[in-house]
Copies of this chain bind each other. A is one copy, B any other.
Amino acid sequence: MSTAWTSRYALRTKGIKSSAIRELLKITQRPEIISFAGGLPAPDVFPIQRFQEACQAVLQTNGATALQYSATEGYEPLREMLAQNMSRYGIGAQPENVMITSGSQQALDLIGKLLVNLGDRILVEAPTYLGALQAFNIYGAEYVSVPIDEDGLRTDLLEASLRLGPKFMYILPNFQNPGGTTLSEARRHDLVLLADKYGVPIVEDDPYGQLRYEGEHLPPLLVIDRRRDNGHSIANVIYLSTFSKTLAPGLRLGWIVAPSEVISKLVQLKQGADLHTATFNQIVAYEVARDGFLDEHVKLIRNVYRERRDVMLNALQEFFPPEVTWTRPKGGLFLWVTLPDGMDSQALFEAALKENVAFVPGESFYPKNGHPVTPHMRLNFSNAKPEQIHEGIRRLSIAVKKQIQSRHLVPVG
């Protein structure tokens, strides 16, 4: 069917591509499949009763406000609470440094809108969060990618890439998606120093920072940057976080911390994008989180996810052949599996589906010009229950072993 719209589509593409994950997730929703593909929190940990109480309280005492239009920058008490919560980590943000977004994904979109012009380069980790690439692609971004290892971004390889003049760096320091790695403290200092030396600012994406299952909290880049420059306020780092992993993703609530002049630009862009984030959700989230509830709740989530991570790590050890290796994340939702050289992770994905188990092939997490030679898969350990995780890894090991065998049987060359 040719319509006036479709004939016009041919005129522009604007970097719209179908998302691999999106298409995959459709298949992996079949009930017989154990999926390690999504990045979904465990529904078991949603504080449903607390939400019920909060909805009642908000509608009874504050309904007319909660259902009305509201300020683009967000609900003031929520911004104050976030500023206060973050101050424990040394993030000295005032409420005017905080803007509420419709999930962290919107923060990425607004940052793309603000900063990226056609052909601008963004420095990203390889691999990196797929959704960030999607958000930036729309604005015509190009990428410079720098590999990660078990200590996160290889800062020793950074200078050559910084000399290419990227517009900004997009970095996930904690329990990286998809790598599961955490940027070491020494490298955090190196990164902040280099950012300043080359005048390249940092977008620090920290959705999982509170979900640490072992070891000590490391200072955010924002804090290191601030300390370096002796009390001048937040300068070279824009910091993003979210309630999606600590309260509930179905609320779509995230936030940006930035210098107030950056916030004021972002507020203008957000106004054109969706006027404001749902008032009701902001007030309900405030009501749920207040009086220390969120802190207690995060402890519960940590316990649940730590167990699931350990079940997955043990099952990998139990079932997987020695040619396969994986990261041992200290927090977050994902681990990253390195497959033997030459294995086709897309073919493995299809083979895994036949065993009723799913993951995301590693290629999805690289910009188009930065494909890896080594095949990978990303495994999520937060969503499936422990017994499913054990069984899912067993099934996956069958697919992996078959692929390895068939490689050995078919002579290369």
Residues of B within 8 A of A113 (CB): 14, 138
Closest to A53 in B: B59
Partner of A251, one of B4, B44, B248, B280: B280
Residues of B within 8 A of A114 (CB): 12, 14, 16
Q: Check A272–B55 contact: CB distance below 8 A.
A: no
Q: Give the contacts of A258-284 with B (CB-CB under 8 A).
A: 258-259, 261-262, 265, 268-269, 271-281
Give A192-216 as 1s and 0s: 1 = Cβ < 8 Å from B's Cβ atoms.
0001100111000000000000000
A8 within 8 A of B: yes
A167 within 8 A of B: yes
Interface of A with B (CB < 8 Å)?
A: 1, 3-9, 12, 14, 16-19, 22, 38-41, 43-44, 46, 48, 51-52, 55-56, 59-60, 63-70, 72, 102-103, 105-106, 108-109, 113-115, 117, 131, 134-135, 137-138, 167, 195-196, 199-201, 232-233, 235-236, 238, 244, 248-252, 258-259, 261-262, 265, 268-269, 271-281
Residues of B within 8 A of A46 (CB): 63-64, 67-68
Q: How far is the CA of A275 from the CA of B274 in the complex (A)?
A: 13
Query: What are the 10 closest A-B residue pairs judged by CB atoms, nearest first?
Result: A250-B279, A43-B64, A67-B248, A55-B55, A48-B63, A134-B272, A67-B250, A3-B235, A4-B201, A252-B278
Q: Check B106–A274 contact: CB distance below 8 A.
A: yes
Q: How far is the CA of A248 from the CA of B66 in the complex (A)?
A: 9
Tell me the smallest distance from the CB of A52 to a CB of chain B, in Å: 5
Beyond A69-B250, A252-B276, is A8–B115 a contact (Cβ under 8 Å)?
A: yes
Tell me the smallest distance from the CB of A130 to a CB of chain B, in Å: 10
Beyond A5-B238, A265-B16, is A275–B103 a contact (Cβ under 8 Å)?
A: yes
